[in-house]
Amino acid sequence: MTEKMDLSHPQKTVAIITAAGSGVRMGTKRAKQFLDLCGSPLLAMTIIPFQHCSQVGAVVLVVPLGDVDYCQKEIVERFRLNKVMKVVPGGKTRQDSVRLGVKAAGGEFDLVLIHDGVRPVISTAFIGRVVETAQGHRAVITGLPVKQTVKGVNSRYEVVKTYDRQSIWLIQTPQIFRYNDILSAHEKALHEGWNNATDDSTLIEKLGIPVKVIEGSEQNIKVTTPYDLELARFLLNRGRYE
């Protein structure tokens, strides 16, 4: 199913940046989204491309409960990120945090663009391409086709299946949806106990809405470990990324 929308007014698209996790795998006292990356907090580096993207009208930032004031002062105000309309506390899970961010955005936006706060290597052009694709599709996600062989294993680490990699993609953010669709999907998930979704498009699929996949970027890494942080630093210092 396709729907055409008038996206000529950038205020119709709001970005939800989720950064409410604790980042235990990083092994640091401070949550990974606040670690230094090229002289700025990692989270600030993630938000900046959305600040400069003309297709994004506003940003809702979802952060840990105890860091709301810090983020408002040390990230939003310090870096003059005036598209950030709200900084709100997240929930116990990413799914909870996205739902809270979508509700905080209110109903004035047609499109909701959801992005992980620890994916800082992203360009305004790439964000714009995702928004533009949503003109003809109700749900759009980004990802990469798998290049390596993928096998399923059992609890004894024995191979039980080899998958056809031509039909398998590794999914990234950003992902973009109609506001009413993603709000309905999260509310239904809350009421029916769908609490194991690994991304937002999984909830959209449960509503029977077709999801369009477009190719993402190998450089759009999710910073989870110290190695990821060093790789993100290298990519950003190089200054050429999609």
Task: Report pLDDT digits (tens) over 82-134.
Answer: 999 999 999 999 999 999 999 999 888 999 999 999 999 999 999 999 999 99
Alpha-helical segments (H) within the chain: 42-52, 68-71, 94-105, 124-133, 179-192, 200-206, 226-238
pLDDT tens sequence across 54-85: 999 999 999 999 999 999 999 999 999 999 99
List pLDDT tens digits, range 197-214: 889 999 999 999 999 999
Distances (CA, A) of 48 to 3, 33, 34, 135, 205: 30, 14, 14, 24, 30
Distance in angstroms (rounded) separating the CA atoms of residues 65 and 166: 42
In a domain, 217, yes or no: yes
Q: Answer whether residue 4 is part of any domain.
A: no
Specify if 66 maps to a domain: yes
Structural domain that includes position 86: 10-233
In a domain, 222, yes or no: yes
Query: Please, are residues 210 and 139 in contact by the beta-carbon 8 Å criterion?
Result: yes
- Is 1 within the bounds of a domain? no
209 lies in some domain: yes
242 assigned to some structural domain: no
Domain for residue 2, yes or no? no
The pLDDT-based confidence of 9 (bands split at 50, 70, 90) is very low
**Confidence class for position 240, pLDDT limits 50, 70, 90:** low
Number of compact structural domains in the chain: 1
Which domain CATH number covers 93?
A: 3.90.550.10
